[in-house]
A and B are shown apart, each in its own frame.
Chain A
């Protein structure tokens, strides 16, 4: 255990040292890279030295003298400059005169040129007008021809259109006729089919009636089997309405025409119930026809 602790504490030390080193490196490098050295503010430094008064006065005088001399020199220089300037101005005037003359000449030349140009232009204008007239005439001619052509074409086109219309009308007529024929045919077929169907239905009904009759007889028989005759006079009969469910089960029984004997009626009803399920067709279509079965019952 102590060995383990020693190892752990040594590792901890390593780890802490590692982190400190990394942190130091990071801090150092980040500072180094991210903060550019701030520009140093410029300061006017006042240089001051102490001197005694006499020297100052002397110095002042010297300075004043220097100033005077400088002023004199400046005035001389200015005078010289003025002289030069006057001369330059004179020369400039002469030059200007020359320039004005040259200008005049040039203007005259330009005038001449302009006149020549004007003439040329007028001539050109005339020519252009002539050309225009010629062109106009030509165009008119062309237009007329085009108009003629167009009219001819229009006529042709109209003719064609008329023909087309006639053909169309013929076609329509034909179509109408065909349609009528087809309709007639269809009606005939329909009638035939209807007749056929009616016949078939009649046949079916006949067959159904036969089958229902068979079933009704079977039902009567099974009811008769359940009917108890003891103690009843003979020759009695009644009509029973039976509501059938799928598979021949009896849903409801009622006596429509009584036999006159209450016991007979009651026993008949009971017999129907106890005969359930009654023989009934599996075919649902047939069964639907005899859902409400009126049965004449005579034991």
Chain B
């Protein structure tokens, strides 16, 4: 047995199953970090867009030019814009028809806004469950690798007459790397999951508030 136990040696000397576990964990970690970066950017953009749009919304008196600009824009509307677009479109469409009660118009507009918001919510929450899964399962996967490695090293220990700590220690050390990797993958995933779900919830609250305010404006329009 050589005295050198660098991490690389330990990984390369590990049994096939433990190596597989490590590979899975590394993949999980890479994917979860990809999602973390991705989500962070998306949420940041969404927040920025919401702020910009709210400013625009409250600064104009007449909403129809805002609507035409948004619906003719090159970019696909996102977040609040989309909710606004859906609500306004439905409102105008129903108002054009004769003999329709104001309450019915408002109901329709509100319904279409609710649908648009649900779609937005869905977009924001995609992939969050993957982070949660990585956070909760990768320690177990790592633990599994460790247990397997320790089992093997003890089995090897049982075959010799005189056991020394030097015979098991490298095996255990090698097996423990799997746990370390599991934790390494899990900790950022859990932190990111909590952070993002909080952010998403706040954003949705904001959308909700906007929707109510917009509905009250439409109410005023419909009854005037």
Q: Is the CB of A35 within 8 A of B3?
A: yes
Binary contact track A268-297/B, C-beta < 8 Å → 1, others 0: 000000000000000000000000000000
Q: Is the CB of A14 within 8 A of B37?
A: yes
Segment of A5-13, A50-58, A113-121 in the binding face: A5-13
Residues in B with CB closer than 8 Å to A26 are 7
Residues in A with CB closer than 8 Å to B37 are 10-11, 14-15
Q: Is the CB of B7 within 8 A of A27?
A: yes
| Shortest CB distance B6–A (Å) | 5
Q: Is the CB of B26 within 8 A of A11?
A: no
Residues in A with CB closer than 8 Å to B7 are 26-27, 30-31
A interface residues, tally (CB under 8 Å): 17
Residues in A with CB closer than 8 Å to B42 are 7
Chain B contact patch, size range: 10 to 19
Q: Is the CB of B6 within 8 A of A11?
A: no
Binary contact track A1-31/B, C-beta < 8 Å → 1, others 0: 0000001101110111011000000110011
Q: Is the CB of A31 within 8 A of B6?
A: yes
Q: Is the CB of B35 within 8 A of A34?
A: no
Query: How many contacting A-B pairs (Cβ < 8 A)?
Result: 45
Most buried by B among A11, A26, A35, A38: A11
A35 touching B6 in the complex, CB below 8 Å, given contacts A12-B30, A15-B33, A19-B30: yes
Most buried by A among B4, B6, B30, B31: B6
Residues in B with CB closer than 8 Å to A14 are 33-34, 37
Residues of A within 8 A of B (CB): 7-8, 10-12, 14-16, 18-19, 26-27, 30-31, 34-35, 38
Offer 10 A-B interface pairs, CB within 8 angstroms, sorted by A: A7-B42, A10-B37, A15-B31, A15-B34, A18-B33, A19-B33, A31-B7, A34-B5, A35-B4, A35-B5
